[in-house]
Structure 1
Amino acid sequence: MDQTPTFGVEEEFLLVDERGRLSDRGPEVVDAVERPEGDVQRELARSQVELATSVCHGAAELADQLAHFRSRLAGEAAKRRLRLVATGTPLLAEEHPPAITPTPRYRRMGEHFGLIARTGTTCGCHVHVRIPDRSTGVRVSNHVRPWLPVLLALTANSPIDSGEDTRYSSWRHVLWSRWPSAGPPPLFASLDEYESRVAAMLESGAMLDRGMIYWDIRLSEKRPTLEFRISDVAATAREAALLAVLTRGLVLTGLSELEYPPPPVPGEVLRANLWRAARDGLDGSALHPETGRLTPAPALVTQLVERVRHALAETGDLGFVTESLAWVRENGNGAQRQRRAYARTGSLTDVVDLLSLR
């Protein structure tokens, strides 16, 4: 592997009609998109579509791909008088749960997990960072897992669900946590322990296959990458690229610290801190990953950048992060912008307009 690991992003979006109601034509939009690079995929619900970038080397390349793919998907939706919306949860109340995409795997998931699979449609952003090997990936996960709440607070983009303000900044995180295989990754002594935990979860029926390893950080089953699954889908391509660049910075920093023991943050403490970050986003506080003290979320973001500053400088991404975070400080993250848009007019259709891809 080169000294600077490559990375890529997967994003999930909601498909809605002209009124902002969920549409079940996601598979149709996916099938219509040409794929010269990257990929577009069906998702569990027919009202969702997913894009995946190709392998990228830098922030500018990744941001350009995300903007290009978003625009292309939006164009295919518009041909059908539909829109793609970049939010973690459906904004408007629906009369019925969205239909499950009729593939054998998704049908089996619907039958096995019941309402967990058929309600609570959520859209996330997944970041893949190349790793030398799976054993190293497990060790890096141990080192970076305490910073997951900071990434969640920064990227929270689902305060409204089914017509109501949930009082959370990332309601998607709360809904997603219902899956029995979801949550923060444990501390693993080795790759063998990782595999033994996966085998036990498969045996229990908490997962139907290895694709359902839903930990917030996991080893990818298809790529030589460590996959971060903590974040809501970003409202803008720039914010998605910012998340990816910070994530790669964490991985690079973790790789440089493997000779030291990882922070021994217990799973229940990390889960509690993720709940706090999901509730408050950038408007509140969370436990500092190193001191355990309750710290304002904006200060935690600043300290995250300081922690990975050397890695960002090495990859040439420091300027992009600095400019992008200045934009977020001025405009707010997705959750803050959603609430402001709703407060201005009291109309959720205005929030749908704000988050619709173009």
Structure 2
Amino acid sequence: MRVENGSHGALTLGVEEEFLLVDAAGRLSRQGPDVATRTDAPDGELQQELVRCQVESATGICSSIDEVVEQLGGLRRRLARTAADRQLRLLPIGCPVLAEERSPEITPNPRYERAAAEFGATARVAATCGCHVHVAIPDKETGVRLIDHLRPWLPLLLTVTANSVFADGADSGYASWRYPLWSRWPSAGPPPAFGSLDQYESTVETMLRSGAIIDRGMVYWDIRLSDDQPTLEFRIGDVAAHVDEAALLAAVIRGLVRTALEEIGDGRPAPALSSEALRANLWRASRDGFTGQVLHPKTGYLAPVAVQWAETVELIRPALKEYGDDEFVEQGFARLRENGGGARRQRAAFDRRENLHDVIDLLAVEPGRD
């Protein structure tokens, strides 16, 4: 996926989504590499993942949220059709729902096999599915300054697509169980406050020397610089249950980036927030999701997530209007306030009959036609 270099007025987007493939019984499939290579994706890219039960899609360059919605929907339908041809189902969910007899198999690939050998049991958490949003940035130095400014909003961003309640056959007690699972990687979790590009690069080099990462592609921070393209990559979200929720995440991220660029241009310093406090608040966000409470990014006190998002939308409204996203964002949060998001919908589906297959049925993508 390529995202064009962006000035303050041209922040293009790209969105990546990871999915699980399951068979008719809801068990993880081994056919991810085959499904990825045999699916046509004229508007984006399809990729193999570390484990064979996953596939990943990536949009092309998008200037508008309408493009994001159209491309994500098309990629999901195409993958679901290829999966259905193999008697499989495509699941946009953060974690495997059912208990599996054995660990997911690693995709045959020298880099993946090395990662599995180096990190042992940690590699098993690779069977978790996220949503990654790329936003074009002017340069890497500005990207690092944006990371420092936007770290406090990571917990709120996590709540938008929290979609991984059930894991290994049981309710995890979390709205996003994917997040604490994924955070087991030594390079995952919230980034520190860097202060400069030199400090960012020094930190990455230290992780390489220690063996905590085998290459720069394994920098798994919740926000990171992309090495391959001039973007800032937000890796905080679960894969969204619905395309509109993934697009909502992309829209508010672009609005936050645009607003932070203005603050940086005005000479405002990045908010002071320790890594320990941020990590604690991310735990709270992963547990509660959209229907709970997290620490307010400005006051530091617990407050309802829905109230904080209403305040945040007002903060970034000029940016949302600039890109024509304000109505889409308002409608998206109205739906979340009504239905509680992916996590609440999963629990509601399970509660009707206490049957985990109802959760799978709720989320499975229908092949449809383009």
Task: State the TM-score bracket (shorter-chain normalisation).
Answer: over 0.9
Which residue does 1:155 correspond to in 2? 161
1:229 matches 2:253:
no
How far is 1:119 from its partner?
A: 4.3
CA separation in 2, counterparts of 1:302 and 1:147?
Answer: 13
The match for 1:142 among 143, 148, 152 is 148
1:326 matches 2:327:
no
How far is 1:293 from its partner?
A: 0.8
1:158–1:170 Cα contact (<8 Å) kept: yes
How far is 1:118 from its partner?
A: 2.5
CA separation in 2, counterparts of 1:154 and 1:324?
Answer: 10
Superposition TM-score, scaled by structure 2 size: 0.95
CA separation in 2, counterparts of 1:119 and 1:328?
Answer: 28
How far is 1:36 from its partner?
A: 2.1
In the TM superposition, 1:73-84 aligns within 5 A as 73-84=79-90
Which residue does 2:17 correspond to in 1? 11
The match for 2:302 among 289, 294, 297 is 294
CA separation of 1:119/1:260 partners in 2, compared to 1, >3 Å: closer, same or farther?
Answer: closer
Q: Using the aligned pairs only, state the percent identity.
A: 57
Report the 3-state secondary structure (helix = DSSP H, G, I; strand = E; otherwise coil) of the residue aligned with 2:17.
strand
Structure 2 residue identity aligned to 1:305: V
The match for 2:194 among 183, 188, 192 is 188
Which residue does 1:121 correspond to in 2? 127
1:11–1:50 Cα contact (<8 Å) kept: yes
1:155–1:334 Cα contact (<8 Å) kept: yes
Deviations 1:285-308 (A, max 9, x none): 110000101111111111221221
Of 182-191 and 325-334, deviating more is: 325-334
CA separation in 1, counterparts of 2:333 and 2:300?
Answer: 24
How far is 1:283 from its partner?
A: 2.6
Which residue does 2:78 correspond to in 1? 72
1:30–1:49 Cα contact (<8 Å) kept: yes
CA separation in 1, counterparts of 2:303 and 2:225?
Answer: 30
CA separation in 2, counterparts of 1:307 and 1:213?
Answer: 30
1:89 matches 2:95:
yes
Report the 3-state secondary structure (helix = DSSP H, G, I; strand = E; otherwise coil) of the residue aligned with 1:273.
helix
Report the 3-state secondary structure (helix = DSSP H, G, I; strand = E; otherwise coil) of the residue aligned with 1:46.
coil
Of 279-288 and 44-53, deviating more is: 279-288
CA separation in 2, counterparts of 1:35 and 1:297?
Answer: 36
Report the 3-state secondary structure (helix = DSSP H, G, I; strand = E; otherwise coil) of the residue aligned with 2:46.
strand
Which residue does 1:248 correspond to in 2? 254
The match for 1:45 among 21, 35, 51 is 51
The match for 1:63 among 69, 74, 95 is 69
Report the 3-state secondary structure (helix = DSSP H, G, I; strand = E; otherwise coil) of the residue aligned with 1:182.
coil
2:43–2:71 Cα contact (<8 Å) kept: no
Unpaired stretches in structure 1, ≥5 consecutive residues: none
1:309 matches 2:317:
yes
CA separation in 1, counterparts of 2:58 and 2:40?
Answer: 13
Structure 2 residue identity aligned to 1:282: F
2:125–2:182 Cα contact (<8 Å) kept: no
1:131 matches 2:128:
no
CA separation in 2, counterparts of 1:242 and 1:24?
Answer: 31
How far is 1:164 from its partner?
A: 0.4
Size of the aligned set, in residue pairs, is 358
Report the 3-state secondary structure (helix = DSSP H, G, I; strand = E; otherwise coil) of the residue aligned with 2:47.
strand
1:205 matches 2:211:
yes
2:23–2:88 Cα contact (<8 Å) kept: yes
Superposition TM-score, scaled by structure 1 size: 0.99
Report the 3-state secondary structure (helix = DSSP H, G, I; strand = E; otherwise coil) of the residue aligned with 1:35.
coil
How far is 1:328 from its partner?
A: 1.6
CA RMSD of aligned residues (A): 0.9
Structure 2 residue identity aligned to 1:190: S
Which residue does 2:3 correspond to in 1? none
Which residue does 1:266 correspond to in 2? 274
1:36 matches 2:42:
yes
CA separation in 2, counterparts of 1:269 and 1:15?
Answer: 36
